[in-house]
Amino acid sequence: MKFNPLVAICAAVMLAFPALADDLRGTGDLGLVVEREAGSLLVVDHSERAVIGRIKGLGDLSHASLVYAPDGRFAFVFGRDGGLTKVDLLTRAVVKRVVQAGNSIGGAISDDGRLVAVSNYDPGGVKVFDAGTLDLVADIPMGSKTVGIADVPGRRFAVATWDTGEVWLLDHSADPAKPVITRLEGIGANPYDALLTGDGRTYIVGLFGEKGLTAIDLWQDPPKVTRFLADYGRDQPDLPVYKMPHLQGWTLADGVFALPAVGLHQLLWVDAADLTEIARTDLAGQPVFALARPDKREVWVNFAPPDNDKVQIVDVLSREVIDTLTPGKGVLHMEFTPRGREVWLSIRDENRVEIRDARTRALLAEIPAQAPSGIFFTDRAHRMGL
């Protein structure tokens, strides 16, 4: 074999700069913590239990949520001021920001990662953007505030309308700019949030204007609408609702939905097959998130004021509270690491994030943060409805 000086030079360069590899990293153990008052995001590494940077300039994050691109590098942040911001976790910078409405409440990313949809309060409806450029692709007026938007398989989105009690299915598969729209009426009064089950089959809508919930079976053609739990709490006086439950915090474990009740200090257990109530668990306060540990063995619950200093752990088999923690005032959100070894808790009023062992519940570490709220790890990029 003849000597090739070019190959020799390239090999020498590679040996001379091995430190370049230290600048490379994946995104699988990264995440973002919303600092709601500061309009910023903490970039965190959950393997190291450490902050690796801060991204500033995201506007009003008082009710912010976000979704990830399929590669886990980019996140799309939905601010209360109508801002849609694309951020880069690796460079820790804002890629682009557009203020697309007066007041927005959340969003979703299509299953192919190419479209980002935003659910708006003001002026209502849904706007859909190109995920690469944030250029507007489709503007879909609905004559209503919209809530509970979720990605559905096949480059589709589902969203509920607060004012008209409908669910709209938006199919962008043929022409992203001109979605095929299916309107489902009679969903119930004032849908306030919704969730999509992890298999993409069932879209569940919570109702504020009346008792009960509505499930939509998306595998049926046309989609099948079923009202359920219409009588829960009818024989009990409603308690003041200081903060509505977040339906993406509902959970499916062992074939049963664990649902935070509205206006009651209870967790409702509903058979996922026939949507009948099978049990209730009394809780320390008004539940907000009821989040299953990834192995589905336990459900962790946090609460609205005045009980938002507590977290309760409920056993899925016995459906009994097995532990009550008091991490601090203002526990707004919980996020498990992907395999459920640890849980991160945002303690807003004490300006910190607490990290606990998800089985022993022992405190492992704390991270300073400015009024933290939502915690989002990048494994969400590969989970439907998140």
Q: Mention every residue, 6+ apart, whose C-beta is less than 8 A from residue 134.
A: 84, 86, 96, 98, 116
Tens-digit pLDDT profile for residues 30-63: 999 999 989 999 999 999 999 999 999 999 998 8
User: How is residue 192 written in tokens?
Assistant: 């306030």
Instruction: Kindly report, residue by residue over 260-311, the tens digit of the pLDDT.
Output: 888 889 999 999 999 999 999 999 999 999 999 999 999 999 999 999 999 9
Report in angstroms the alpha-carbon separations of 79 from 120, 149, 235, 294, 378.
Answer: 10, 15, 39, 28, 19
Question: Coil, strand or helix: which one is 7?
Answer: helix
**Local confidence band at 246 (pLDDT 50, 70, 90 cut-offs):** low
Q: Which one has a higher pLDDT value, 353 or 24?
A: 353
Q: According to the model, what pLDDT value does residue 12 have?
A: 41
Sheet with 65-68: strands ordered across:
65-68, 74-78, 83-88, 93-99
> Which of 20-24, 179-183, 352-356, 379-383 shows the lowest mean pLDDT across its residues?
20-24
Model confidence at 93: pLDDT above 70: yes
| Helices and strands (H, E) in the chain, number of each type | 1, 32
Q: Mean pLDDT, to the nearest integer, of 331-356?
A: 97
For residue 22, name the pLDDT band (cuts at 50, 70, 90): low
* Predicted TM-score of the model (pTM): 0.91
Model confidence at 372, pLDDT cuts 50, 70, 90, reads very high
| Torsion of Cα atoms, 338 then 367 then 243 then 250, to 10° | 10
**CA pair distance 302, 267, nearest whole angstrom:** 11
| pLDDT digits 0-9 by tens, 142-154 | 999 999 999 999 9
Structure tokens at 226: 């079923």
Cα 79 to Cα 104: distance, rounded to the nearest angstrom = 6
Count CA atoms closer than 13 A to 197's CA, side-chain side. Answer: 19
Q: What is the b/e burial string over 151-169, where b = at least 16 CB atoms within 10 angstroms of the residue's CB?
A: bbeebbbbbbbbebbbbbb
Let me know: does 127 contact 140? Beta carbons within 8 Å: yes
CATH code for the structural domain at 100-243: 2.130.10.10
pLDDT for res 248: 62
Res. 65: pLDDT tops 80: yes
Q: Name the percent of the chain lying above pLDDT 70.
A: 90
Long-range pairs for 268-275 at CB < 8 Å and ≥24 separation?
268/229, 268/232, 269/319, 270/228, 270/229, 272/202, 275/215, 275/226, 275/228, 275/229
- Spans of all domains in the chain: 100-243
Confidence (pLDDT) at 105: 84
Helical spans, DSSP H, in the chain = 5-16
DSSP annotation of 240: P
